[in-house]
Chain A
Amino acid sequence: MADQTYDAIVVGSGISGGWAAKELTEKGLKVLLLERGQNVEHVKDYKNANQAPWEIPHRGRRTIEMLENHPNLKRDYVLNEQNLDWWAHEKDSPYVEKKPFTWFRGYQVGGRSLMWGRQSYRLADIDFEANLKEGIAVDWPVRYKDLAPWYSYVERFAGISGNRDGLDILPDGEFLPPMDLNCVEKEVAERIKAKWNGKRLMTIGRVANITQPHEGRVNCQYRNKCWLGCPFGGYFSTQSSTLPAAMRTGNLTLRPWSIVTKLTYDKDTQKATGVEVLDAENNQTYTYKAKVIFLCASAFNSTAILMRSATDIWPGGLGSSSGELGHNVMDHHFRVGANGTYEGFEDRYYFGRRPNGIYIPRFQNVGDDKRDYVRGFGYQGGASRSGWSRNVAEINFGAPLKEALTEPGPWSMGITAFGEILPYHENKITLSKDVTDKWGLPVLEMDAELKENEKRMRKDMMSEAVAMLEAAGLKDVRGFDAGYTLGQGIHEMGTARMGRDPKTSVLNGNNQVWDAKNVFVTDGACMTSGAAQNPSLTYMALTARAADFAVAELKKGNL
């Protein structure tokens, strides 16, 4: 096949890749956007988005067949008969668990931007400074002030709704009007504020659902079916937002079914020359050339591509000269918290299905607060009235049962903590020497685990949850720890970290691979530490910033 040449190639079409494609095409570059899986067209391919409850064959329950075919997905809520096509086929794309690891991958155009949780928070100074202050891993090469304008830039386009709370720990953004707390959440928020003199705050989640018409998209309709694709474009996804913007420029070529096997590298110029693509449908190999390459294939797959590239020069692959490629695996550990029932507000209910909950920003190890671990966690959750699925064992069969279940039950509230995992060098991924995927590529081996800091934090995540719900007047408060394996947070981070020194980091402060300056990695792989906040907004900001830098460098002739 003949080579084809573009100005830039973007690998991966999820949150980060979509932003890279938008920014680079809008700056006039001819861009090839590669996606390893199927195409998913906005609205047209959201085939179950308008399914009524009675049209869902098993009404949300899992079939034996689903459990057998999805040994990985079944570990959590993500296994759902309504959007099974949007998760990687586990038999085609296996991975090896040297230690337990859960990997939920979205192999299609839009990636996981179609199914993401949409919680969108800025990192803060305390997050960017933590590694340096505590002597952990390496220092971030950027600070909050470097990213703040880029957070604003991406928020304005993506559309993030939220409340301006004026906190240093969780900087405000360019928000669309916030969604409402319900009556119980408002009451609980007041009581937490009173009990802790304003040092703890419960606010509405900052979420990438638009609360008013925005950028040609219809505002959120409160259907709470986001993970099926939104026909209104009510939430940010590649399809609703960045892809149409990139398409409008006329500069974008989108190529689905394109697995990047490696980057091609010229050791004389010390730059990548392009990518080698394996067509997932016809198994043919194609080569594409470009001046600039953005790796946005999701954290571990971006790293895997680097590991498979330039191995004639570095056996560990491009970026491995630092000894850090594949290391410092992070995620957010969670599934620990508390819930309780609320007596009162029986004369109150809600209208609409709010696709969002509450957020309690980190308060541990902030200011004078000191714990027996470093870093911290935030809580997400919400209050609701129970419905027909509640247990009413004491009520007789027949009309009494039917009548009881046709009315809403009592209010309850639950909160779950999301905690930071430190970047440990020994938590790593490597290419398998003996297991390959359907296309003959070596699969990843996961070798990572929680350590003492996270285990101590988990105890606090439960006890503080119980303490706050009890202080807020909830009854029958119960703490829970439902167990967690790494990866389950679906916030994989690290393995190609940014840093200030090529000897200890894979990327520099502009997300350039130290060993190939025309290669940028701007997805979760680049994270130097994980903070406790949901990370996608940070990938958007880093991607837009890196794209701006790349085009400037290109114009100067530096790439």
Chain B
Amino acid sequence: MAINRRDALKSMALLMGGTIVGMNALLTGCSPEEQLSGLNFSEKDIAFLDELGEAIIPTTDTPGAKAAEIGTFMVMMVKDTYNAAEQEKFTNGLNALRADFKKQQSTDFMEASTADRTAYLNALQARAAEEEALAGFLAMAKDLTVLGYFTSEIGATQALRYMETPGKYDGCMEYVPGDRAWAL
């Protein structure tokens, strides 16, 4: 169990130090006018959603939403489970948030730090009443990030505890603050 988790963390660190950050560097050249149209999510859109998800559920002592490939998950869910109106709200919101971030922070979302992105999201959340469209998109992104992360293998087995076959039931076990919740 411990070895598995260490191995998983090590491979995650490799992933974060290598592929993903490298990919972001490649993507920094993208123009600020980058617009998603329809449901034609590009790799850049997925990378954006990965970072958005990571700003919602970041890497701490366990991997965050990006390691759980949250961008790919969000796109699949938007395509398969959202109706047309919801899909439009999501894609419009994605474009709007990208533009709003640039306007507020004078930098591209993809170039900012995760901490700055998270701070932006919290500020947006605080003025949700005035920013209906943006806040509506953020609520969708949060919902999909929380769902996708905590049901991912990383989320369920590292952030939470997953027991495939408990084998018994104890209705009154001791709980110490800090103990992780069951995935199911």
Contacts and interface: CB of A to CB of B under 8 A. Distances in A.
Interface of A: 50, 52-54, 56-65, 179-183, 185-186, 221-224, 346-354, 385, 387-389, 396-399, 401-403, 405-409
Contacts of B14: none
Contacts of A50: 164
24 contacts: A53-B162, A58-B76, A58-B81, A63-B81, A64-B82, A180-B172, A221-B165, A346-B175, A347-B174, A348-B175, A349-B173, A351-B170, A352-B163, A352-B166, A352-B167, A353-B169, A389-B150, A397-B56, A397-B142, A398-B122, A402-B60, A402-B159, A406-B181, A408-B182
A407 B179 contact: yes
A401 B151 CA distance: 16
Given A59-B147, A223-B166, A397-B121, A185 B181 contact: no
Contacts of A351: 163, 166, 168-170, 173
Contacts of A223: 164-166
Contacts of B115: 398
A62 B81 CA distance: 6
B181 A408 contact: yes
Contact of A350 (B60, B150, B172): B172
B27 interface: no
A499 B29 CA distance: 81
A54 B169 contact: no
B58 A402 contact: yes
A61 B81 contact: yes
Interface string B141-178: 01000111011110010011011111111111111111
Contacts of A389: 146-147, 150
Contacts of B164: 50, 52, 223
Between B76, B173, B176, the greatest number of chain A beta carbons within 10 A of the residue's beta carbon is seen for B173
Nearest to B86: A64
Contacts of B174: 347-349
Nearest to B118: A398
Interface size class of B (residues with CB under 8 A): 35 or more
Contacts of B177: 407
Given A180-B169, A398-B55, A61 B147 contact: yes
Between B80, B171, B176, B181, the greatest number of chain A beta carbons within 10 A of the residue's beta carbon is seen for B171
A534 B150 CA distance: 35
A54 B153 contact: yes
Nearest to A223: B165
Contacts of B179: 349, 407
Interface in B101-160: 115, 118, 121-122, 125, 142, 146-148, 150-153, 156, 159-160
B83 interface: yes
Contacts of A354: 169, 171
Contacts of A397: 55-56, 118, 121-122, 125, 142
Given A347-B174, A397-B55, A406 B169 contact: no
A402 B169 contact: no
B25 interface: no
B60 to A, nearest CB: 5
Nearest to A55: B153
Contacts of A403: 60
Given A58-B77, A63-B80, A406-B159, A401 B57 contact: yes
Contact of B169 (A179, A348, A405): A179
B151 A182 contact: no
B99 to A, nearest CB: 20
Given A221-B165, A222-B169, 10 more contacts: A50-B164, A53-B183, A62-B81, A186-B172, A350-B170, A351-B166, A387-B183, A388-B183, A402-B64, A405-B146
